[in-house]
Amino acid sequence: MGSARGEHPEDEWAALWGRAYVEFAATEKRSWLEQQGVKFTPLVGWAERGDGRAGGHGNSVPRFHLPWGTGTGISEPFADRVRAAAADGLVTLHFRHRVDDLLVEGGAVVGVSGTVLAPDDAPRGVSSSRESTGEFALRAQAVVIASGGIGGNHAKIREWWPERLGTPPATMITGVPKHVDGRMLDIADAAGVRLVNRDRMWHYTEGIANWDPIWPAHAIRILPGPSSLWLDARGRRLPFPALPGYDTLGTLQHLRTTPDIAEFDYSWFVLDQRIIEKEFALSGSEQNPDLTGRDLGLLLRGRLGNGAPPPVEAFKQHGEDFVVADDLRALVDGMNRIGDGILRYDDIERQVLERDAEIENPYTKDLQVMGIRNSRRFLGDRLFRTVKPHRILDPAAGPLIAVRLRIVTRKSLGGIQTDLTGRALDADGSAIEGLYAAGEAAGFGGGGAHGYNALEGTFLGGCLFTGRVVGRSLVARL
């Protein structure tokens, strides 16, 4: 609740959803998921440590749970039940049917119409053909919009970019597949559905271009441990709480609203081999073949063995945003080669030396160094995520590494306003007969259950919760 940062009048339902989600997450969420067949790894991450205030933004405890099987580990048990129902003739699946319109009669939504797209067996995440082979119309007792957010549509992101986050970057890289285009939200809007908080969004500042892309401008987000030095495009250390893994939107705001850096679309991590080996995790199921493939041997070898996990090492070798060098001068030269050539070696050296001196100071006045030590008080981080404090310039920890970090688009926090049963509302705030919304399209509940901010890892949970609520409403109604 400390993360939501206030309410405005359109948050009437969102605030109730936020509260209901927290109650669900704190009580039956885990046991309910386990009953559905979802399994969790014992690894619990400590994401989004917050802004340093006891009552402010952030996770007070590690609570980022990883399902065995990553995203598909969550979705497959549900998909299996739908497939079984389809095999029993209870469900009909209409793949390659793109909804272009809601059918509205007498104020009630009675179905959908749209375009039948040409067959395409593109793998998951790869953009598929939009060639039309015909049209369709389907009528139903109820329609549920679960069409996701707008993260794959940069034009929409720019259109709704909030003033509080400064100016949108001139270039962004994309953290979701192309089908996350927000088109269905505009279709709902045109049909009289009430959309709220469209200017609330969650994009990461630690994006790197995928050297082996699946979708256009495919970006991967680094889930960083706490030790990398974070510099702006001009080579200045970012101020607290813009530390790796602390405050996603606070950091985005800093980068986009500070006048002399807002013209740049990137910042820098400076680290060393020892840090990358333990502290770089990459988001995305294909970047975690051990967890996605439920391969315990690969997991232990990759995460506890020597060297960086293979997907991280592949980025280090092939990624266009990586510079690797044996000494700091060569590293800064490399950063200037792939950046704008404005970094001054003396500035960078001074800041690395300052930071390194504080690592050796048992008391330290450096907040990041304090955070590194605090992180190691949690056994999970000590074992898997936070490297033993050491000097970045220690030759035994080398080579040195710099990573150019760009803005990676991801989540929409606003969307279709729904009441606590998941019914979509109209402009007057009345429930629209026959229409429901769930998931990111509904702002994870009520059109923005997170408020102005969010906590890492609460998105999928909100999708599951809103989906469950809508499912139960349909059972009660139909």
448 binds ligand FAD (CB under 6 A): no
User: How far is residue 281's CA from residue 321's CA, in Å, rounded to a whole number?
Assistant: 16
User: Shortest Cβ distance from residue 440 to ligand FAD (Å)?
Assistant: 4
The reply to whether 234 sits near ligand FAD by the rule CB under 6 A is: no
Where b means 16+ CB within 10 Å and e means fewer, 408-420 reads: bbbbbbbbbbbbe
The structure tokens listed for 375 are: 């992180």
Instruction: Mark residues 80-109: x for contact with ligand FAD by CB under 6 A, - for none.
Output: ------------------xx----------
Of 348, 323, 349, 352, residue with least CA distance to 335: 323
Using the minimum distance from each CB to ligand FAD, give the nearer residue, 15 or 460: 460
> What backbone torsions phi and psi does residue 20 show, to the nearest 5 degrees?
-60, -40
Distance of alpha carbon 159 from alpha carbon 451, whole angstroms:
20
Rg of the chain, C-alpha, whole Å: 23
**Judged by CB under 6 A, does residue 284 bind ligand FAD?**
yes
Binds ligand FAD by CB under 6 A, chosen from 180, 229, 416, 449: 180
Distance CA 467, CA 437 (A): 8
Among 58, 62, 111, 148, binds ligand FAD (CB under 6 A): 148
CA distance 425 to 4: 22
319 near ligand FAD (CB under 6 A): no
Per-residue contact flags (x/-) with ligand FAD for residues 239 to 278, judged by CB under 6 A: ----------------------------------------
Site for ligand FAD contains 291 (CB under 6 A)? no
Least distance between ligand FAD and beta carbon 229 (Å): 25
CB of residue 284 to ligand FAD, shortest distance in Å: 4
17 backbone dihedrals φ, ψ, rounded to 5°? -65, -40
| Residue 176 binds ligand FAD (CB under 6 A) | yes
Q: Which stretch binds ligand FAD (CB under 6 A): 165-173, 205-213, 343-351, 435-443?
A: 435-443
- Classify the C-alpha dihedral 253-257-263-268 as positive or negative: negative
Q: Cβ distance 257 to 166 under 8 Å?
A: yes
Residue 45's Cα: distance from chain center in Å?
Answer: 14
Q: Does residue 29 interact with ligand FAD by CB under 6 A?
A: no
439: contact with ligand FAD by CB under 6 A: yes
* Nearest by Cα to 389 from 364, 363, 369, 366: 369
Could you give the CA distance from residue 103 to residue 13 in angstroms, rounded to a whole number?
25
Backbone angles phi, psi at 429, to 5 degrees: 90, 10
Nearer to ligand FAD, 314 or 370 (CB): 314
Contacts with ligand FAD by CB under 6 A: the residue count is 23
The nearer residue to ligand FAD, 76 or 356, going by C-beta atoms, is 76
* 176 or 271: CB nearest ligand FAD: 176
Helix axes 367-375, 345-359, angle to 10 degrees: 50
Residues 370-429 that bind ligand FAD (CB under 6 A): 411
Q: Are 419 and 447 in contact (CB under 8 A)?
A: no
Q: Which CB, 262 or 460, lies closer to ligand FAD?
A: 460
Provide the β-strand partners of residue 373: none
3-state DSSP assignment of residue 66: strand
Q: How far is the CB of 348 from ligand FAD (least distance, A)?
A: 31
Q: Segment contacting ligand FAD (CB under 6 A): 174-182, 268-276, 315-323, 340-348? A: 174-182
Question: Which segment (173-181, 266-274, 321-329, 401-409) binds ligand FAD by CB under 6 A?
Answer: 173-181
Instruction: Kindly tell me which residue out of 184, 188, 291, 369 binds ligand FAD, with binding defined by CB under 6 A.
Output: 184
Q: Does 459 bind ligand FAD (CB under 6 A)?
A: yes
Closest contact distance (angstroms) between CB of 71 and ligand FAD is 6
Return the SS3 of 45: strand
Q: Site residues (CB under 6 A) for ligand FAD?
A: 98-99, 146-148, 175-176, 179-180, 183-184, 283-284, 411, 439-441, 457-461, 463
